[in-house]
Structures are given as structure tokens and as C-alpha cells.
Amino acid sequence: MSSPAPSGASARSARDRILDAFEELLAEHSERAATLDAVAARAGVSKGGLLYHFASKDALVDGILERFTADIAEDIERMRTAPAGPVDYFLRTSIPADNHLEREIVAVARLAQASDARASDALGDAQRRWLAELEEAVGDRMIARTIMLIGDGMYYNSALLPAANTVLRDETDVSELVALVQGLSARR
């Protein structure tokens, strides 16, 4: 007789817990704060257990970037197949949410801020892929770029100025913005 599969955090492999811990420390603090000791403690593994899966901090970065690349591919597929279309999906997901991809983006951005060229390249690749999907959806590179810039502004206002944000006040504002942008791309 087999025992039931574990659920929740215990179901996550040690490797995934280590990557999660590294990502959390990067997103919450900085690349400097994400030491091997801090990552092991956050993941609930010994330093030897961490080193079994990742021989160095550089290997941890590789692990985060591999996972980020895979998650961006999944996000692109969700964008491509979104019921309301790629533009709606992109703009609505430009508002920060407490989810795994959002934490990954912040973590990879922290690595890029610490001059990790691989992280900068990964963020650039994600941006190019989102732009390509938007361009395919609207048929115009400049309109697609404009949509990306609007999404960046939405992110900035929501993430960095949450208490002072008077630009996007509620779902009605977001829906009206999406309709406006879709109308602009339809007029092309």
C-alpha cells in the first residue's frame, strides 16, 4: 500500500525549494543578501544539501535563469492563446500580482542590476518575445512598442507608487485603457 503524495511545500523538491529561496531573497533584498548560507536557511536545507544541487552561486543563477526562460515560454503561450487576445493579456498582466512569474522577473532584474550579463540577456529576450507577440497581434511594430511602453508605465505606477497611484484606479480604468489601445491598433 502506497502512502499519499505529499502536498504543498513538502511536495516541492529540494532543488525547487532552493531555487524558490534564492529567488525570494533576490526579490526581497538583493544579490548580495542572497548568500549560499541565507539560501540554504530559507530553503530549509543544509549548506551541503544546497551544494549537492548547486555547486556555486553561479550555478544558482543558471538555475534561476533556466526556470525563468521556461516560465516566459509558458507566459508567451498563455498570451498567444488568451481568450481576449494578446493585447488584453499583456496589459492586464502588466499590473504586478503576487505570483511566481512576477517574483522571478524581480529576482532576474536584481541580478541584472548587479551586472550579471546573463540576467540582462534573459530580460532582453523576454521583452523581445513579448514584443514579437504584440506585433503579430496588431500587425505594426510601433503600435506594439507603444503597447509595451504603456505596460511598463502600468507596472511602474502599480508597483512603485501603489499608495499614490491615481492613474489606474480600478478595473474600469484598465478595461477602458485596453479598449482604447485595441481601438488604436484596429485603426491602423
Q: What is the pLDDT of residue 158?
A: 78
- Under-70 pLDDT residues of the chain: 1-11, 162-169, 187-188
Contact between 123 and 112 under an 8 Å Cβ cutoff? The reply is yes
Q: What is the pLDDT of residue 167?
A: 66
Per-domain residue ranges of the chain: 11-55, 64-187
* CATH class, 11-55 region: mainly alpha
Q: What is the pLDDT of residue 2?
A: 38
Q: What is the pLDDT of residue 98?
A: 78
What pLDDT, in 10s, does the model give residues 90-127? 999 998 777 889 899 999 999 999 999 999 999 999 99
What pLDDT, in 10s, does the model give residues 175-188? 888 888 888 777 66
Contact between 111 and 124 under an 8 Å Cβ cutoff? The reply is no
User: What values do phi and psi take at 50, rounded to 5?
Assistant: -65, -50
Q: pLDDT averaged over the chain?
A: 88
Q: What is the pLDDT of residue 163?
A: 66
Q: What is the pLDDT of residue 6?
A: 42
List Cα–Cα distances, 147 to 89, 134, 151, 165, in angstroms.
11, 8, 6, 20
